[in-house]
Amino acid sequence: MNTCPACKSKISKAYEQYQWTFWGSDYGLLICGNCKTIFTDPLPSNDVLKRVYAECFDYRWYQDHYTAKYRDCTARVEEYRSWLGQRVLDFGGGVGYLSEALRAKGYESQTYDPYCTIGDKMESGWDTIIALHVLEHSNDPDCTIAQIKSLLNSDGKLILAVPNAAGKGYRELNTQWVWMQPPLVHVLHFTKKGLCTLLERNGFVIKEVRFAERWDANLDCDLERVEQFRLLGSLWGRQPYSRLRLYRKLCASYVSSLRNKGLQKAINKTSTDSEDFSELQVIAKLVAQ
């Protein structure tokens, strides 16, 4: 039962010696010997994931940081412009800032999120599906990709963004990297090879692979100044003040502005290896059957 969820290789080994216990079950991490994707072992069941999002996932953080996330999404709409059809589904989009950014630019867009949005029955026939930081939460990526395929037009395009498991943050901070979040929030940690293999196995052709820095994880704030930003980040949840929405919003606004400056520094630095970067993006096209 140690098959890599990304490339299906059966060769894997322990990724460090981490062990966690949640609700009576033990979890560790494995790294694939072929594609180097890191994954939770064993993968959590659907019931465990439902419990994680019902009891441990604080959607208020996303609401309080809406301004910064919306700004990031507006930048992404511009970045992805050449790949967007008129109808764009935001798959796994939580509180919906990407759809709002898309609609502001004239696209037709809805957000679908199994754990957050209470919406109408999801329509199919989308020209483009964007899933920003979604697939790393899946306990069955083939099933998630099949669901995406069922919602896409026959020649539709898919844009995925995930944490880059080959990046410098993972290499230097391991489980302390801001985007690792093991073992039950981020279940899969993809490399370029792992994500491309998964998509090609499921009927997509890869059109473009990109590496990027983002507002909510970047090498300036979260590696070079990690202690400072950990402290700043903890302000938002500090008890008892965090019960007050105004306090949380002020913290979110202050830290967001510092993060925007950090992001600019991270973007403006040249890297000798683009794969150091924090985010992996793959743009793929469905092969018409």
Min. distance of Cβ 104 from Zn ion in angstroms?
39
- Nearest approach, Cβ of 20 to Zn ion (angstroms)? 22
56 vs 58: CA distance, rounded Å: 6
How far is the C-alpha of 56 from the C-alpha of 54, rounded, in Å? 6
Q: Could you tell me which stretch among 5-13, 21-29, 80-88, 103-111 binds Zn ion (CB under 5 A)?
A: 5-13
Q: Whole-number minimum distance, CB 142 to Zn ion, in Å?
A: 13
Q: List binders of Zn ion among 192-231 (CB under 5 A).
A: 194
Report how far residue 106's alpha carbon sits from residue 185's, in angstroms, rounded to the nearest whole number. 33
Is 194 or 262 the residue whose CB approaches Zn ion more closely? 194
Which of 32, 77 has the CB closer to Zn ion? 32
Token digits of residue 195: 């994500």
Q: How many CA atoms lie within 13 A of 264 on its CB side?
A: 5
CB nearer to Zn ion: pick between 7 and 129: 7
- Selected from 31, 32, 217, 263, the binder of Zn ion by CB under 5 A is 32
Nearer to Zn ion, 94 or 141 (CB): 141
Per DSSP, the residues of 148-191 read HHHHEEEEEEEEEEEE-TTSHHHHHHGGGSTTT-TTTTS-EE--
Burial of 60 (0-12, 13-18, 19+ CB in 10 A): middle
The yes or no reply on residue 34 touching Zn ion (CB under 5 A) is: yes
Q: Which of 223, 236, 274 is nearest to 68 (CA)?
A: 236
Instruction: Among 29, 30, 31, 35, indicate the residue that binds Zn ion (CB under 5 A).
Output: 35
Residues that bind Zn ion (CB under 5 A): 4, 6-7, 9, 32, 34-35, 37, 194
